[in-house]
Structure 1
Amino acid sequence: MRHLADGRDIIYFDHIAAHERLAEDTRDLPPVAAASEIRRDPLTGEWVAMAAHRQTRTYKPPADLCPLCPSRPGKPSEIPESGYDVVVFENRFPSFAQNVPGEPSTVDDLGLVPTAPGRARCEVVCFTSDHDGAFSRLSREQVRLVVEAWADRTAELARTPGVEQVFPFENRGEEIGVTLSHPHGQIYGYPFVSPKTERMLEVARAYVAEHGRPVLGDVLAAERESGARVIVAGEHWTAFVPPAARWPVHVQVVPHRQVPDIPSLTGAERDDFARVYLDVLRRCDALYDRPLPYIAGWHQAPVHRDRELAWLHLELFSVLRSKDKLKYLAGSESGMAVWINDATPEQIAERLRAAE
């Protein structure tokens, strides 16, 4: 681990273990001043984050000024080295950070809305130094290195004060809202357990109490037996369209063994994930004969509780419902969280299986 000019950590993951990274960040950067705050909605019980300092974050820079490319003479970037395989660094515009000032309180001192500093951690993961690359075009070896980075950082963030859940994810494409086109993802260390995870744990707990088995294990077994929604099946992973898919493209990639998080995967499971996931991504890009905009994120167990209920899996979804049409989250979805899909899960799966 090394440090950038403002003191943030930067960690290199290389194919050659003995390779040393010695380049120094020569930029004149002021210290990061995060002012993150979390507030709990009194009507839903869900935590909401406020991070007003992110308004000034980098927005769609030209390719020759990309902050995620390796540094070049006269054009220093977030990565001081002239090249890298995979690199992780602390986000300069984090939604959550360790040095956020303040103490827990309530809004307006009325006691209805608890509030607290957003103390946790956010990191950026660059999947390749190739600005024009894509995760779908990485080699299996490179994907395996990314998995190692995810595992390492998940374990490290789980030891970070204030972090309750670790969420590695990738946003891809302008339609998703991406403002940096270089292939990269992020890792959020949340200071709370996310609302979606809380709901999934509630369902998992009730299912175990009634059936004595994990719900995702039974879903996985049913999907593998039916095959109607399976996209890719490997030795240790199966990718399928969820039977109640919300999005026009929606895939879950699930390990055959119940594990709580990425660090718990074996070497063979990590290898097989690289093969299965690349197959899924390449089918996604072939679906409309264009790069698919998507969000892909890992569902991992909370750091400190309910780890026996969770079943690690990756979820990928896209807002693109045809080559040139987007699915907008309108009244029903945005207002009431009631989803209406324009295609059945079986149709989505058939289209992805046919995409080559």
Structure 2
Amino acid sequence: MAELRWNPLLRTWTMVAGNRQERPNLRTDGCPFCPGSGNVPSTYDVLEYDNDFPALTTDPDEPDAVGSELSPVAPNYGKCEVILYSPQHDVSLHDLSVTHLTRLVELWTERQRILSSDPRIKYIFPFENRGEEVGVTMRHPHGQLYAYPFVPLKIRTELESARVWHDEHGSCLFCDLTRDEVSDGRRVILANESFVAYIPSFTDYPYGVFVASRAHKGSFLDFTPSERTDLARMLKTLTGGFDLLFSRRFPYMMCIHQIPVNSPEDVGCEESYHFHIEFYPPLRGETTVKYYASSEMGAWAACNPLRVEDTAPALAAACRKFEQTIVKP
């Protein structure tokens, strides 16, 4: 049984998905995402694959009869997709060519266009979990995409903060943040014509990089072909730098934030909100993990155990080192 349950304390929905208990855990009996498995085409480069264990579905279950006035329930309408990066089982995102990664960005763009045509979808969220430290159960290179029937609480909070800043200053909060980081320079990791990668001073994680578009853009649908290629190049170099930093496979959560769709209460948000990617890498050292514990989870009071002015130069150097190894497409 899967459904949505309303949290009256935070005023947002919780997805309940008992079916996900059946997911395989680092299975050793073959990979369903590899060609020849019978689950995917015999040849592909990048591919959308409907999640076998979705928390959200366009054919939702009837909710359990457990709701109340305080905490109603709703159907789990939406879509959960797997985005396969490559047919090769053992590659990482940074092993793929810029040309290949541009096709990945184009697939994200295509899914944004298709899913936003459903009026019941309010927010489209592509993301990647990498590494056992963040709960990955399939090693094959892939990300996921959730299309929600509501705007998630963290996005809602960002939208409101951006709206308030725009009302008070007449400018985009993310444009101003990126401009300040470039001006300061100490926390900048990478930059190209279209994007800047930096570790903002306030991030929860020692290596919590943000990637922001230089131009004020709201979603993948707003990018030009050259911007899509620049994003592909930046993701390749950044993730390659991550793996060089401690000479190991670097775990992370990559979260792509865009404007909502089909959301009347967010009409006009494209003026104040801005496409960006937030990385949450749990490592604070080669073998040490920065855990999200009671203060972070119970009070939403984050604590970063390291100064990002110290971590950013090391990651920037690793990215420069990786960039020297890239063969141009």
Q: TM-score, normalised by structure 2?
A: 0.92
Matched, 1:69 2:34: yes
Distance 2:291 2:61 in 1: 37
User: What's the counterpart of residue 78 of structure 1?
Assistant: 39
Matched, 1:171 2:134: no
One-letter code of the match for 1:346?
Answer: E
Q: Larger Rg: 1 or 2?
A: 1
User: What's the counterpart of residue 272 of structure 1?
Assistant: 230
Q: TM-score, normalised by structure 1?
A: 0.85
Report the CA distance between 1:212 and its aligned residue: 0.5
Report the CA distance between 1:346 and its aligned residue: 1.1
Contact conserved, 1:106 with 1:112, CA < 8 A, in 2? no
User: What's the counterpart of residue 82 of structure 2?
Assistant: 124
User: What's the counterpart of residue 149 of structure 1?
Assistant: 107
Contact conserved, 1:36 with 1:119, CA < 8 A, in 2? no
**Deviation >2 Å, runs of 4+:** 105-108, 304-307
Query: Among 17, 31, 52, which residue is 1:92 paired with?
Result: 52
User: What's the counterpart of residue 310 of structure 1?
Assistant: 273
Q: Percent identity?
A: 37
Report the CA distance between 1:36 and its aligned residue: 2.2
Report the CA distance between 1:102 and its aligned residue: 2.9
One-letter code of the match for 1:338?
Answer: A
Distance 2:119 2:61 in 1: 14
Distance 2:135 2:257 in 1: 21
Higher relative contact order (CA 8 A, sep 6+): 2
> Over residues 31-84 of structure 1, what are the superposed CA-to-partner deviations in whole Å (9 max), with x where a residue is unaligned?
xxxx3211111111121110101111222111x61111111xxxx3320x3222
Structure 1 residue runs of 5 or longer lacking an equivalent are: 1-34
Report the CA distance between 1:279 and its aligned residue: 1.4
Matched, 1:191 2:149: yes
Distance 1:139 1:317 in 2: 24
Distance 1:350 1:101 in 2: 49
- The residue correspondences of 1:191-270 to structure 2 (distance < 5 A) are 191-270=149-228
> Over residues 220-243 of structure 1, what are the superposed CA-to-partner deviations in whole Å (9 max), with x where a residue is unaligned?
111111111100010010000012
Secondary structure of the 2:209 match is strand
Report the CA distance between 1:107 and its aligned residue: 4.1
Distance 2:140 2:114 in 1: 25
Distance 2:256 2:169 in 1: 26
One-letter code of the match for 1:230?
Answer: V
- The residue correspondences of 1:320-335 to structure 2 (distance < 5 A) are 320-335=283-298
Query: Among 18, 27, 30, which residue is 1:52 paired with?
Result: 18
Distance 1:300 1:88 in 2: 19
Report the CA distance between 1:320 and its aligned residue: 1.0
Secondary structure of the 1:297 match is strand
Secondary structure of the 1:320 match is coil
Secondary structure of the 1:123 match is strand
- RMSD (Å), alpha carbons: 1.5
Contact conserved, 2:124 with 2:148, CA < 8 A, in 1? yes
Distance 2:185 2:69 in 1: 52
Number of residue pairs the alignment of both structures matches: 314
Report the CA distance between 1:106 and its aligned residue: 8.1
One-letter code of the match for 2:294?
Answer: G
Distance 1:285 1:250 in 2: 14
Distance 2:253 2:222 in 1: 23
> Over residues 145-165 of structure 1, what are the superposed CA-to-partner deviations in whole Å (9 max), with x where a residue is unaligned?
000100000111112252110
